[in-house]
Copies of this chain bind each other. A is one copy, B any other.
Amino acid sequence: MHATTIHGDRDIRFEEVPDPVLLTDDDAIVRVVAACVCGSDLWYYRGVARTTGRIGHEFVGVVEQVGSAVSKVRVGDFVIAPFYVCDMECVNCRNGFSTSCLRSSWWGADDRQGHPADGGQGEKVRVPLADGTLAVVPGPVDDALVPHLLTLSDVMGTGHHAAVSAGVRPGGSVVVVGDGAVGLCAVLAASRLGAGRIVAMSRHPERAALAREFGATDVVAERGEEGIAVIRDLFDGVGADRGLECVGTEESMAQALGSTRPGGQVGYVGVPHLNPELKMRPLFGRNVGVRGGVAPVRNYVEELLPEVLSGAIRPGRVFDLELPMAEVAEAYRAMDERRAIKVLLRP
């Protein structure tokens, strides 16, 4: 079969690799129906972080084989894989934080038993801890639903995590920093949680339009101190109730914190670049809470999947380019050059 590999800066290939086989009784083999490129994949692509080998961590597909200990997932099931492996049984999984699963591992890295794991941007994937990791989609799956289901693998669950971490409440006001796929999904998440006013910070007309489709009531193009001043003016001179940080830079965090009122809270899901630090005294003085992290998207499938299936939410709208998986290198280029918000890949 073929899978995506990275060999260095901007060197993405779709090449022949061995077919996956069951390595433990807990494994499943999934034939990928759709995968995609993540903003965080670009870190490796751009050489900001280093990795080589298999890459990709978002996919949906159909189960082809299961190990003898797998009982919840069956051959033929359509499944959603979160961007990490988890057992959904340990104390952290039960607490709702499967990204801290005591047996967690990452696609493309070794699993907890020392077996090399596949990446998600391939034709097939060996899935460790299949009963925990995979979420089964009930019934036959209409092809038109595939992009929407695929977002539950990462971006929709991550946007939801930003909104939940910030404590978005019905009627409250929200500012979303970041107009990438996660930021747009955060707008949608805030909207379905009932926020009364949602400001998307964007200077890209197409992204701003999608933000409005997802429920943004206002779009603010200004950034930095000027952006903060505009936001505060919108909300009683003090800022919005909640800030959703969906980028991961020091600037975006400062934007979110500065846009949030005293006593408000920032939910952050942008992977922090370069181990940034938060100054405590401004947070202390303004009582702005900071909560978030790597999103436990597997725990959120139960809440979000019914709304995807019913069409109540259409998060797959973030995919504005679809390519054959063999053209994965072009998919990375399109996202790197911001020609696409997010690229869907089909084998």
Contact = CB atoms under 8 A, between A and B. Distances in A.
Interface of A: 91-92, 95-97, 99-100, 165, 236-238, 253, 261-263, 265, 268, 271-272, 275-281, 283-294, 296
Contact of A263 (B100, B236, B238): B100
A96 B263 contact: yes
A286 B91 CA distance: 13
Given A95-B263, A272-B281, A287-B292, 20 more contacts: A91-B236, A92-B261, A92-B263, A100-B262, A100-B286, A100-B287, A165-B289, A263-B296, A275-B279, A277-B279, A277-B280, A283-B293, A284-B292, A284-B293, A284-B294, A285-B294, A287-B293, A287-B294, A287-B296, A290-B290
User: Can you list the 5 inter-chain pairs with the closest CB atoms, starting with the nearest?
Assistant: A289-B291, A100-B262, A287-B293, A277-B277, A97-B263
Q: How many of these chains are in the complex?
A: 2
Contacts of A265: 291
A280 B276 contact: yes
Contacts of A236: 91
Contacts of A253: 280
B99 A287 contact: yes
B290 A91 contact: no
Majority-rule SS of A interface residues = mixed
A27 to B, nearest CB: 25
Contacts of A289: 165, 289-292
A287 B283 CA distance: 18
Contacts of A238: 91-92, 100
B280 A285 contact: no
A257 to B, nearest CB: 12
A294 B95 CA distance: 30
Contacts of A261: 91-92, 95
Nearest to A236: B91
A291 B280 CA distance: 10
Nearest to A97: B263
A291 B290 contact: yes
Indicate the member of A91, A281, A289 with the most B CB atoms within 10 Å: A289
Contacts of A272: 280-281, 284
A182 to B, nearest CB: 14
Contacts of A271: 284
Nearest to A291: B289
